[in-house]
Chains A and B, each alone.
Chain A
Amino acid sequence: MKIPLSWLREFVELTETTDELRAILDDLGLVVEGMDYVGEGLEGVVVARIDEIRAIKGADRVRLVVVDAGEGPLEIVCGAMNIDVGDHVPLAPIGAVLPGGFQIARREMRGVTSNGMLCSSRELGLGDDHGGLMLLDDLIDPVVGVGLLEALSITPDVVFDITVEGNRPDAWSVEGVARDLATRLRRPLSSPLLAETNSDTTSDSFASAGIDAPDLCGRLTVSVLRHVHVRPSPVWVAARVQSAGMRAISNVVDASNLVMLELGQPTHAYDAAHVAGRTLRARRARPGETLETLDGVERQLATTGRGLGDTGEDCVIVDGDDNVLGLAGIMGGAASEISDATTDVLLEAAYFDPMCIARSSKRHALRTEGSNRFERGVDPQLALRASARFVAILRESCPELEWLRDPLDVVGTLPTPPTVEFSEDDIERVLGVAIASDDATQILEGLRFKVGVSGGRFTVVPSTARPDVRSGAAGSADVIEEIARLYGYGRLPRHTPTWPEPGGLSERQKLRRRVRDVVIDLGANECWTPTLGSDRDFDFLRAGVARVRITNPPASDESVLRPTMITGLVRVWGKNLERGVGDVVIAEIGNVFTHPDATTSARMTRGGVGGALTLALPRENERLTVVLGRELDNAMTAVAYWNTLAKRLGLADVVVRSTQTPVVGFHPTRVAQLVDRESEAVLGFVGEVDAVLIQDVVDSVPSRRLGLLDVDFDALCDTSLATRRNEFAKVPSRFPSAVIDLAFVTPRTLHAQDLAFELRGANECVELVELFDVYQGANLPEGTRSLAYRVRLNSDESTLSEKDVAAARRQLIARAESLGATLR
């Protein structure tokens, strides 16, 4: 909220510079987001009268204006067209420095000398108008040569723009901020001028008030004000309201706004002539009721709640005929609005249940200055004090005003401030430092908390302005925070704790780092593609499968949680190609999501109000997806890429098995499964990106193959699925190896890498088996191809004899034959 320094000074004496005050406010948690200097730089600006306007030869955008600012005629070049001879305007003479640091100098323009500048209101920081010069005749009775500040009765001021945290409804007012400052600076806090009733007539002889929903409306006070004249506010009231960023409207409305800004209590003024029975009652709205609020919107009341925790309730103010006048605490209706004809006013100052206001305000999508304050909690004892302040302000413009005695004050259910108990030790237990009882007491009393200290124990009752203070252990945390806040966080000690438990990464986190390192070593750029995509992104893949949708997407391309990263990565590749840098490998490690209805491994978790239910949430599957987009890349480079990755990750026996089953996103005839032979688990897929997907995602379609690797990182982390190499290191034999080549004619159903694994286990001397040639030709039987392996044999005990080699060879062939292969 915007708070002028001059307003704060009415409550507390402040001798600090504005920068010092800013630092103090920041340190109190009242963060100053900005400071506006009102009237700064206007010291030299004077009122000038226009005596002559002449055209300048050759210029059609500027004219020569002759003015008098009390010291004879001055020639000034001016571009404004909204002026006539005789007008009074602000003149910034040579040497003046305007707000923003603009220095006025003598200038030559079009061969004419300009001796100063005539200003618009924006140039002076006095308004937003930049359509022409500021015309003073509209505002005041101008006198030539008088300083502008004096002429406009402007006192230079600073306006702090303060962010008020959600737990500080009390600080959403000038008095609240001043109270914090007074407490921190140990200075007295003044009270504003309050009015007293000035009538022998009692309020209940003129009006009545009642509460039918005591849980929603905790207090309803109604003051009766007679002989009101609706007219413009006095200058200082209008200026105050404007300085806080609101518009000045009329004395009644401005008084209401000023009281809200100053004390934090929203009030509502009704024209008594339009309130049936001069009665105000607070009750629950009934289903089917409607109200046209002041913003002209017809609102359905008491509708079914939307979302968690919404009861659907609305609290309304009704008149004596039970007609709805307004949405309590949020916005009034048009019918009983104050008008120029109003003479009798019913002033409502109330306390409404914060959660009720919060729910209604959210459901009706109607946030007002009033609802913002009520939903955080207005001081329930503030209503009549605020009314007295309202009357004091209104009386300045309506001296004849009559405030009937004994204002109506109906009480419903009001929150009782808790009694919070804690010890000096508790303060130290939370803050890590002892704070003297006297200091703590001084702080809490400054905040108007009731404090009793006895034997090192505090008994504290918070001010009614502080509904954020809870009871029990939470309450003592709240009070201790206040002590710390006013004491100053910067004065609290620091201590870096240590503990015996070791820190470190989990196996999963270590594996992820290893995967990332290897993937990058192998030439990939790591990307971060969007988690949210459009339906269209995933129509090609996963058509017909339930999608995880966002209820409130800001745009249609952010409405679905990605079921795969392939689409996103191919798009990234395409974009880079367009930029001329498409010769890249790109990769991402991230989560993909499966709808709980479409998976057997939905995540079961606590949910619902109070965490009382068990909910099935989407499966989150962490994957590694790599798109190989360099010029020579294809399915084969993807296989080679995977091969290296698998070795570096220490995977013991994963094989690449081509598959006939289509895998979404992959080229249907260039895709293979990555199978762990031990567990038979599929750890992922390798192949090429489906050309149709590339066409779908990339605008300018190049005819290029993209290698693709998509690995289930969750499965990789599970050693029962992804078998690891034995950790025992084998020392290589000192004896020379024998190498033999074997070529087999094998049925297509026998995968080359499976056969290699089998051969490796056929004889204990086998050190390495490597596929080195694949031959498929017409001279081979249908459905077969020839696979040629190089086998390296070795023994730890001796150099292998020819006999040993021959025996091994026989065993290798026998093993291959048992799988349907024949030696070629």
Chain B
Amino acid sequence: MTSSPLANLADQTAELLATIADLSTIEQLREAEPSLTGKRSILSALQKSFGVLAPEDRKEAGAQLQEARRVVEAAMEARRRQLSQLARAQILLEDGLDLGDVVVGDVRWPASVGHPSLIAITQRELEDVFVAMGFTVSEGPEVESDWYNFEALNIPPAHPARGLWDTFYVDLGEPETVVLRTHTSPTQIHLMEAAVANDSLPIHSVMPGRCYRRDTPDARHLATFHQIEGLVVDRGITFADLAGVIETFTRAYFGPDIESRLRPGYFPFTEPSAEFEVTCTICRGVGCRTCSHTGWIELGGCGVLDPAVLDAVGIDGNEWSGFAFGFGIDRCAQMRHEIADMRALIENDTRFLGQFS
């Protein structure tokens, strides 16, 4: 019987591990690699010597060698990580800089011209129009409970009306209890709750913010988008006031020759509800492809506050009434700048951003 080629495997492995432990830089490791685990290594040589073994012994020998190779390669990887961490630590040490010691007057910095985001500009213009009309500006969170995003807005759980909003649910335990807000309307509920708690009615406020719907983005829709919502709760507020506010806003923002009109719509939180449309800004009402030859472009939704919503926040509907409206900030930007594809807004291409001031 020939002696097994693996007779000294344990010693040979130990020797390889010792060599690996001795490697002190990443460069050394890289150089030594072929002779330790590669083609020129003892492990590969042993593999080739299996020819002398009886076929029935080869499987056993193969397994032994495989195990040895695994141990050596693992040691190699561990050492590689160690050495690269050491190398990084060394680089970081040499690169260290006490930023408190920066002599600001000596810092030379390159000149560049900055540009605001189109959404921010649009939002600011819209806010300014409403502020001039006597509105305050309010904000609310992006993650909301089902209560604020739906139920308090008269959209009970499992109600088919929820199909109007493709909702992102946030995973915090109980299913479907927390959402990324699908509209800015939950901010209305927060405002009304706070006004009731602080006894600070009336409310005249607009609420801009980022919203989310589980949609595939296309030229006209983004899954993340921005809305601005308006809420008025006061004494003696009617549908006529709503129509008047929409009309004043339309002329102030889009220009004196742009008109608005309302047509019946459905939102669970308003009754009567309306969609509001403005004169197509492309064809000025003549009719074109953009407005499907109707001369009108749909901008948003609005309506008189539903008694059920006032009820949910504890406002006395006999004393107070109100209206709400909402529309897309991104959509306004798209209309004003004739942006063919909304996705340009999230590309953050500085060649696009650089056009706005």
Contacts and interface: CB of A to CB of B under 8 A. Distances in A.
Interface of A: 26-29, 31, 165-168, 306-310, 354-355, 358-359, 362, 375-376, 428-433, 470, 472-474, 477-478, 480-481, 484-485, 489-490, 492-499, 501-506, 509, 513, 516, 519-532, 548-554, 558, 561, 572, 575-576, 579, 581, 583-587, 590-591, 593, 596, 603, 605-611, 615-618, 620, 630-633, 635-637, 639-641, 643, 655-658, 667-672, 686-687, 692, 748, 751-754, 770-774, 785, 787
Interface centre among B98, B108, B308, B348 (most CB of A within 10 A): B348
Secondary structure call for the B interface:
mixed
Nearest to B159: A358
A620 B143 contact: yes
Nearest to A518: B114
Contacts of B98: 658, 672, 748, 752, 785
A669 B93 contact: yes
Contacts of A432: 238-241
Contacts of B273: 481
Interface in B129-144: 130-137, 139, 141-144
24 contacts: A375-B160, A430-B321, A431-B238, A432-B239, A477-B271, A481-B264, A481-B271, A495-B238, A497-B244, A502-B134, A505-B137, A509-B139, A522-B114, A550-B168, A561-B143, A561-B180, A576-B348, A607-B148, A615-B145, A632-B110, A770-B105, A771-B104, A772-B106, A774-B101
B256 to A, nearest CB: 15
A477 B307 contact: yes
Contacts of B243: 489, 492-495
B116 interface: yes
B261 interface: yes
A27 B264 CA distance: 7
B57 to A, nearest CB: 46
Contact of A484 (B144, B156, B239): B239
Contacts of B103: 771-774
Contacts of A641: 109
Contact of B145 (A473, A501, A607): A607
Contacts of A668: 92
A358 B307 contact: no
Interface centre among A29, A525, A752 (most CB of B within 10 A): A525
Given A167-B266, A519-B114, A633-B110, A489 B274 contact: yes
A630 B224 CA distance: 29
Interface string B145-170: 11110011000111111011000111
B96 interface: yes
Contact of B107 (A494, A499, A637): A637
B204 A501 contact: yes
Contacts of B113: 523
Contacts of B106: 772
B201 to A, nearest CB: 10
Contacts of A494: 240, 243-244, 247
Contacts of B164: 166
B331 interface: no
A520 B97 contact: no
Interface stretch (B31-39, B59-67, B69-77, B117-125): B117-125
A473 B317 contact: yes
B246 to A, nearest CB: 8
B354 interface: yes
A587 B288 CA distance: 38
A637 B102 CA distance: 9
Nearest to A483: B272
B263 interface: yes
Interface string B224-242: 1000000010101111110
Contact of B116 (A431, A506, A526): A526
Query: Range of interface residues on chain B?
Result: 35 or more
Contacts of B304: 430, 477
A584 B350 CA distance: 8
Contacts, number: 384
A31 B298 CA distance: 11
Interface centre among B116, B239, B265, B275 (most CB of A within 10 A): B239
Given A503-B132, A551-B175, A492 B117 contact: no
Contact of B307 (A472, A552, A631): A472
A485 B241 contact: no
Given A29-B263, A501-B134, A655 B116 contact: no
Given A308-B174, A561-B180, 9 more contacts: A375-B160, A432-B239, A480-B272, A484-B264, A495-B241, A497-B232, A499-B204, A610-B147, A656-B100
B139 to A, nearest CB: 8
Contact of B234 (A474, A497, A506): A497
Nearest to B135: A503
B234 A492 contact: no
B142 A591 contact: yes
B196 to A, nearest CB: 13
A527 B348 contact: yes
Shortest beta-carbon contacts, A-B, top 10: A309-B157, A432-B240, A29-B264, A607-B145, A432-B238, A165-B266, A669-B96, A481-B272, A307-B176, A496-B244
Interface in B237-279: 237-241, 243-245, 247-248, 261-266, 268, 271-275
Interface in B275-331: 275, 294, 304, 306-308, 312, 317, 321
Contacts of A306: 175-176
Nearest to A644: B104
A497 B241 contact: yes
A308 B160 contact: no
A607 B146 contact: yes
Contacts of B1: none
Contacts of B177: 308, 607-608, 615
Contacts of A526: 114-117, 120, 353
B218 interface: no
A148 B40 CA distance: 85
A691 to B, nearest CB: 9
A631 B120 CA distance: 27
A590 B178 CA distance: 20
B99 A772 contact: no
B239 A523 contact: no
B261 to A, nearest CB: 6
Given A495-B244, A497-B245, A609 B157 contact: yes
A489 B169 contact: no
Contacts of B137: 504-506, 509
B240 A433 contact: yes
B178 A607 contact: yes
Contact of B114 (A29, A355, A521): A521
